[in-house]
Amino acid sequence: MMRQYELVEKVAAYKPELDEALLNRAYVYAMQKHGSQKRASGDPYFSHPLEVAAILTDMHLDEATVAVALLHDTIEDTDATRKEIDQLFGPKIGQLVEGLTKLKKLDLVSKKAAQAENLRKLLLAIADDIRVLLVKLADRLHNMRTLGPMAPEKRARIAQETMDIYAPLAGRMGMQDMRDELEQLSFRHLNLDAFETITARLAELKERHEGTIAAIERDLTAKLKENGIQASVSGRQKTAYSVFSKMQRKALSLEQLSDIFGFRVIVDSDEACYRTLGIVHRTWPMVPGRFKDYISTPKQNDYRSLHTTIVGPSRQRVELQIRTKDMHDVAEYGVAAHALYKDGETSGAVHLSKESNAYGWLRRTIELLASGDNPEEFLEHTKLELFQDQVFCFTPKGRLIALPRGATPIDFAYAVHSEVGDNCVGCKIDGRIMPVVTELANGDEVEIICAKGQIPPQAWENIAVTGKARAAIRRAARTQIRKQYSGIGQQILDRTFARAGKMYSREALKPLLGKLGHREIEDALAAVGRGELKPTDVLRAAFPDYQESRAARAAEKGEDEGWFNLRTAAGMIFRVPGRSKAKARTNGRAIPIRGAGEDMPVRFGPDGAVPGDRIVGIIDPGKGITIYPIQSPALTAYDDEPDRWVDVRWDLDEAMSERFPARIMLSAKNEPGSLAEIAETIAINDANIHNLSMISTAPDFTKMVIELEVWDIQHLTQTLRQLRAKPCVADVTRVNG
């Protein structure tokens, strides 16, 4: 384990004017707090934050970042508090340590949601200070290096999370060396057989081609020197995971890969990069389609280099990366290579560089946090952006827009501006009108055709690739639905206030919003339109002394215009929140109703509902309203879509002679006459069998589902009670979902 003075010496080697006292305090405090704690391997726990600090010193980061690394687990795993760390090390370091602390007591419904919330918190902390990310990645790297003693299930979970989130996040921040190691370690734990097979083959290839690699390094260096260019040439071999992923992605065998070995050529200037490229192409044949200029058009993580593939001296393909020393530092260490994070400033936040493409991506990702998406959606969209390769497209004015591969003009429009995306009605690609679902390619010039008042179709959410576009499309859909409900609410309040002889206006609602529990007028109106807020409650909030008349009380109970009847063809009536007059359709016939803005079909869910059930309606766009019993498990699928719920009630005509659907599951003895006895019992109780299906048959019992038609809940309960009393029936229950 590294000693205190050794850590100080490592930092002093690249930062002579360091705050030595800060490092000493952090070292001693963390050691005391972790005390006798042990890791799963049996090592002292303090060895972990110390190794994380050592990883950051290899990146030449400032002493404040190294101190945060020493302290990063104190709040989470010891009795240390944020207040105590603020007092000893300053509020900035306290803020960084807290940003790295996991969420411990969240009442979340799934591990996936917990993972997403942790990622949310991490990215918000990174937005304030990028050093949070550097410490977090170093923390994950050391955990992956020491994952062996963990239980197999935990190893697999942590490795998968690293592969899904942290490795690509390191790549997006330009930290390629760290990404490679994180992927390699994760690959080993997730697919050990493939890891060992490919590693062994790569070792064989390296031994076989060792002389060739040395010869290429020597020949290339000599050729450049002849032309007056001082260059450092080094060969490298792809990692096992990068080989495996390319084999999977392109369906190739190991023997078919042409770029297992590559060479880096490091020169002094941008000009020397292009001169080197010209010398290489004049000396050896270039492989067509394999040249990429990331100097004039950097990657989104700030990576800059020239890439080319040539047919080398031994007639084999050789991949070359040509870059300067500064480009190489950024390629290896990403954001950690920027002097911005090594200035030793500990009193204020380390701000995001406006020139950095990596931070541009980070800012766009953090924009999703404000869009109100649930945690799982945020995690899904972040993964999408982390994993995608890129295409570079241009606006008609020449602005460069970087998008994930597979992006469409819809994504392009939202990348330009959210308003452009919302108003998009078409596009031109390279001057030609094309469908908005066209997949964009590198170099495309895209012009978005807009129309004011346009609303993005909800189907676009399934076409868009970027999280920003998907979130904006959902947001526009929610806004439109809220607008529709607020219009309904406005009409209901107009009538309610007019009936009471009171003046109503939208502006009069402003001072009442606090009482009504809403922030905006539109929200309050939409709540009235959905039936969540009673119009008489709004009236009483505006006029506390108002005495309700009988008519007003009747309206509140649904006996007047506050609620309207929705009648099906068979005669059953539902009560729905007040809307305009229309006709509903069910079973192909039109029925006059009051309560919908257009023809609205009404149907039951697959397991039916009977009078006496508490029921709810779900709006199916384009299909009408589907009625479910309130206890139906099928309703859980709509928990996150409150705008689709409609309050409905039974309002039956006593003279109506109509049965209603209900489904029961019955387990009967497998003996002659059982089915006949069950059918007779149902018939005696004046119920009707609409359908019957056998689920499973065993030597002793048969399980079946029977679709009944009954008068109401009492009739159904009586029928079930009579069936349970039969000796041939082992069990019978009603099925809901």
Select from 312, 337, 362 the last residue of a domain.
Answer: 337
411 is an active site residue: no
Beta pairing partners, 666: 704, 732
Residue indicated by tokens 């009954």? 710
Question: In the chain, how many domains are there?
Answer: 4
Same domain, 206 and 296: yes
Q: Which of 19, 20, 43, 76 is catalytic?
A: 76
Question: What sign does the CA torsion over 309, 315, 316, 320 have?
Answer: negative
Residues of the chain with pLDDT under 70: 102-129, 255-256, 258-259, 313-314, 335-390, 547-600, 622, 651-657, 737
Residue 53 inside a domain? The answer is no
pLDDT score recorded for residue 242: 85
Strands 649-650 and 573-577: antiparallel
Select from 556, 591, 611 the last residue of a domain.
Answer: 556
Q: DSSP string spanning 573-640? A: EEEEE---EEEEEETTEEEEEES-SS---EEE-TT---BTB-EEEEEETTTEEEEEETT-GGGGGGTT
pLDDT score recorded for residue 105: 37
Same domain, 537 and 603: no
Residue 111 and residue 6 in contact, taking contact as beta carbons nearer than 8 Å: no
Residue 178 inside a domain? The answer is no
pLDDT score recorded for residue 491: 83
Amino acid letter, 303: Y
77 is an active site residue: yes
Amino acid letter, 366: I
Q: How far is CA 606 from CA 53, 573, 632, 640, 714, in A?
A: 60, 19, 10, 21, 20
Q: Which of 19, 43, 77, 658 is catalytic?
A: 77
pLDDT score recorded for residue 424: 92
pLDDT score recorded for residue 388: 53
Select from 303, 337, 371 the last residue of a domain.
Answer: 337
Same domain, 552 and 571: no
Distance, CA of 503 to CA of 498 (rounded, Å): 7
3-state secondary structure of 730: strand
Residue 63 and residue 18 in contact, taking contact as beta carbons nearer than 8 Å: yes
pLDDT score recorded for residue 273: 94
Distance, CA of 408 to CA of 464 (rounded, Å): 7
- Tally of CA atoms within 13 A in the half-sphere of 701 that contains its CB: 13
Residue 5 inside a domain? The answer is no
Distance, CA of 4 to CA of 18 (rounded, Å): 15
Closest CA to 577 of 628, 508, 625, 610: 625
Same domain, 645 and 665: no
Q: Tokens standing for 385?
A: 């952006």
Amino acid letter, 575: R
pLDDT score recorded for residue 324: 94
Same domain, 644 and 670: no
Amino acid letter, 157: R
Same domain, 320 and 273: yes
pLDDT score recorded for residue 427: 93
Distance, CA of 610 to CA of 676 (rounded, Å): 25
Distance, CA of 318 to CA of 690 (rounded, Å): 73
Same domain, 678 and 600: no
Residue 724 inside a domain? The answer is yes
Q: Tokens standing for 650?
A: 């039974």
Distance, CA of 92 to CA of 350 (rounded, Å): 10
Single pTM value for the model: 0.54
DSSP at 162 = I
Question: What sign does the CA torsion over 652, 655, 658, 662 have?
Answer: positive
Distance, CA of 73 to CA of 96 (rounded, Å): 11
Same domain, 718 and 586: no
Residue 350 inside a domain? The answer is no
Distance, CA of 231 to CA of 249 (rounded, Å): 34
Residue 531 inside a domain? The answer is yes
Q: Output helix, strand, coil percentages for the chain, rounded to the nearest 5.
A: 50, 20, 35
Same domain, 241 and 331: yes
Same domain, 327 and 310: yes
Distance, CA of 405 to CA of 389 (rounded, Å): 5
Structural domain boundaries, residue 225: 196-337
Residue 712 and residue 660 in contact, taking contact as beta carbons nearer than 8 Å: yes
Residue 165 inside a domain? The answer is no
pLDDT score recorded for residue 654: 56
Residue 250 inside a domain? The answer is yes
Cβ neighbours of residue 484 closer than 8 Å, sequence gap 6 or more: 529
Residue 316 and residue 287 in contact, taking contact as beta carbons nearer than 8 Å: no
Closest CA to 601 of 616, 588, 611, 615: 588
Same domain, 552 and 570: no
Strands (E), 381-519: 390-394, 400-404, 424-429, 432-434, 446-450
pLDDT score recorded for residue 717: 87
Distance, CA of 460 to CA of 437 (rounded, Å): 9
Same domain, 587 and 633: yes
For the chain, counts of helices (H) and of strands (E): 30, 23
Question: What sign does the CA torsion over 7, 13, 19, 20 have?
Answer: positive
